Amino acid sequence: MATKYLLPEDQIPTSWYNVAADLQTPPPPPLHPGTHQPAGPDDLAPLFPMGLIMQEMSTEPTIEIPDEVREIYRLWRPTPMIRARRWEKALGTPAKIFYKYEGVSPAGSHKLNTAVAQAWYNREEGIKKLTTETGAGQWGSALSLACQLLGMECLVYMVKVSYFQKPYRRSMIRVWGAEVIPSPSDTTECGRAMLALDPDSPGSLGMAISEAVEVAVKRDDTHYSLGSVLNHVTLQQTVIGQECLAQMELADAYPDFVVGCVGGGSNFAGIAFPFVGENIKKGKKTRCIAVEPAACPTMTKGIYAFDYGDTAKFTPLLKMDTLGHDFVPPGIHAGGLRYHGMAPMVSHLHQLGLLEARSVMQTEVFESGISFSRSEGIIPAPESNHAIAVVRQLAEDCKQSGDEKTILFNLSGHGHFDMASYDNYLDGKLEDFAYPEEKIKEAMKTLPKV
């Protein structure tokens, strides 16, 4: 009986899977932030290349992966799918647990899958430089490497507090040849305005997005790149789930549950959408469960409405599960899961009842991740531990009922740069926090009237 399910390099998927093609009702289009009319390709053109804008709006069932992108994917893809036999035993569950390990990418997470694709489409259209924001640095490091591999420049605005507190992802960004600036900075108009208001501002993702967008809009040879949320990002992550379909066949199994953590929704979409497609097309009955922090309960407590993607209200309005664009994230230890909104495609499928969502408290999250690590070895990213917490709940259900269910989850990245949060947990310094109901009601008042 195998433990690792490995695919040969020539079985890297040749196309991305577009779940939109299998839906009877497509998700509503983004709206222009000023006019509230559907945003067309031209509205997005100052920021993104046409190749990606077309993917954003596509209803084609599949989109071919460019050869050069697949060639770069060979550095770490196909990623392994592993049966967590030792953890199953430790949990005493009859469930079969499999995990797809995206932490083998050089940047340490799934984010490189879309970073390489986005850089490629930009370079094809003559763009020389990409700007972006990063919080804890996962996305900034992935995009830096992608740009380096494709001969492009990259400029990363990193939230100031993380820039100083999480220096090693900043170092990775520099090793891979990109420039990294703590945000807010004096290099942009909006940054200078923010500094004038508060010279000691710790920064936020919303501010860093505004700086990165400003630089991109002002220069013809420069575009902006976003690491999650948008349709082209969730689409490009489907290499994960497609490989899993083939690997499940190798394992002679099929998942009753597919589980992933959600921040903007991209790694979950990547593993789940191909299985949602099988549910729709072949009548399979896999339950796909998105897991979020109770401190940032976008899908479980937020509402489905049009909202801005950023605090400064620069972005088009997206119809999504949201906590309101003014949402101030509590300081939980999963930097990648603190966004106020959710990918419109994930939100839409949630609305249609094709996906489920659960929230978990952070001490259970770390306890579960450590339980996993003590059996399987890998130290997961704190984000991934959210998925692991729900897998453990499902495994416990199986133990109670005696059901031998098959569970697959996405281990979206490793936690080697997040050891300080593990220390905090082990030192008993982490507290559970659920985002208060009143705050959500308040935030709803600021939603744009559409």
Ligand X SMILES: *Cc1c(COP(=O)(O)O)cnc(C)c1O
What is the contact surface with ligand X in residues (CB under 6 A)? 109, 111, 138, 228, 261-268, 336-337, 381, 383-384, 412-413
Is the peptide bond between 184 and the residue preceding it cis, with omega within 30 degrees of 0?
yes
Q: How far is the CB of 410 from ligand X (least distance, A)?
A: 8
Residues 6 or more apart whose CB falls under 8 angstroms from that of 193 comprise: none
- Phi-psi region at 119: left, alpha or beta (left = phi > 0; alpha = psi -120 to 50): alpha
| Contact in structure between 202 and 237 (CB atoms under 8 Å) | no
Q: How far is the CB of 115 from ligand X (least distance, A)?
A: 11
Nearer to ligand X, 191 or 302 (CB): 302
Report the distance separating Cα 29 and Cα 27, nearest Å: 6
How distant is the alpha carbon of residue 405 from its chain centre?
A: 26
Nearer to ligand X, 364 or 383 (CB): 383
Closest CA to 389 of 255, 241, 261: 261
Report the residue closest to ligand X, judged by CB: 413
Nearer to ligand X, 79 or 266 (CB): 266
Q: How far is the CB of 220 from ligand X (least distance, A)?
A: 29
Q: Number of helices and strands (H, E) in the chain?
A: 18, 15
Q: How far is the CB of 404 from ligand X (least distance, A)?
A: 29
The angle at the Cα of 61, spanning 55 to 66, to the nearest 5 degrees, equals 55
Nearer to ligand X, 337 or 395 (CB): 337
At 255, which helix (H) or strand (E)?
none
The 3-state DSSP class for residue 352 equals coil
Nearer to ligand X, 78 or 140 (CB): 140
Nearer to ligand X, 13 or 135 (CB): 135
Nearer to ligand X, 381 or 408 (CB): 381
Is the peptide bond between 66 and the residue preceding it cis, with omega within 30 degrees of 0?
no
The 3-state DSSP class for residue 263 equals coil
Closest CA to 139 of 105, 184, 100, 99: 105
Q: How far is the CB of 304 from ligand X (least distance, A)?
A: 17
How distant is the alpha carbon of residue 245 from its chain centre?
A: 20
Q: How far is the CB of 399 from ligand X (least distance, A)?
A: 27
Closest CA to 347 of 189, 249, 214, 234: 234
Q: How far is the CB of 136 from ligand X (least distance, A)?
A: 8
CB atoms within 10 A of CB 432: 13
Closest CA to 62 of 113, 26, 7, 14: 14
Q: How far is the CB of 33 from ligand X (least distance, A)?
A: 22
Nearer to ligand X, 214 or 243 (CB): 243
How many residues are listed for the chain in this entry? 450
Q: How far is the CB of 2 from ligand X (least distance, A)?
A: 26
Nearer to ligand X, 13 or 415 (CB): 415
Query: β-strands 287-293, 257-261: how paired?
Result: parallel
Q: How far is the CB of 219 from ligand X (least distance, A)?
A: 27
| Contact in structure between 144 and 158 (CB atoms under 8 Å) | no
DSSP secondary-structure letter at 77? Answer: P
Nearer to ligand X, 84 or 343 (CB): 343
Nearer to ligand X, 137 or 191 (CB): 137
Q: How far is the CB of 178 from ligand X (least distance, A)?
A: 17
Report the distance separating Cα 105 and Cα 139, nearest Å: 13
Tokens coding 327: 């949402």
